[in-house]
Amino acid sequence: MKKVPEIISTKDLTYLEDQFNWHFTLCKKAETYSHLAEDETLSKHFIEVSKKHEQICNKIIKILKEAE
């Protein structure tokens, strides 16, 4: 997406909300699992997964801020 539209429709906003909630939940779950994992390699993978989903959440927030 090159440019965020001036107006985000209700349908688009609902879609973004669903995507944000999905990625936020996965971010938090992966972070929790990273603390619970006894294997250090597995723990590092969970941290990477958590960071990736956090980045996506931040992109969604950026899209919403640009549309304000």
Confidence class of residue 5 from pLDDT cuts 50, 70 and 90? low
Q: Which residue has the tokens 């989903």?
A: 53
Domain range enclosing 34: 10-66
**Is the per-residue pLDDT at 1 higher than 60?**
no
Backbone φ/ψ region at 64: left (φ over 0), alpha (ψ -120 to 50), beta: alpha
**Is 54 a member of any domain?**
yes
Residue 62 lies in a domain: yes
Question: What does the pLDDT look like over 6-38, one tens digit per residue?
Answer: 778 889 889 999 999 999 999 999 999 999 999
Residue 3 placed within a domain: no
Task: Kindly state whether residue 1 falls inside one of the protein's structural domains.
Answer: no
In a domain, 44, yes or no: yes
Residue 2 lies in a domain: no
How many structural domains is the chain composed of? 1
4 domain-assigned: no
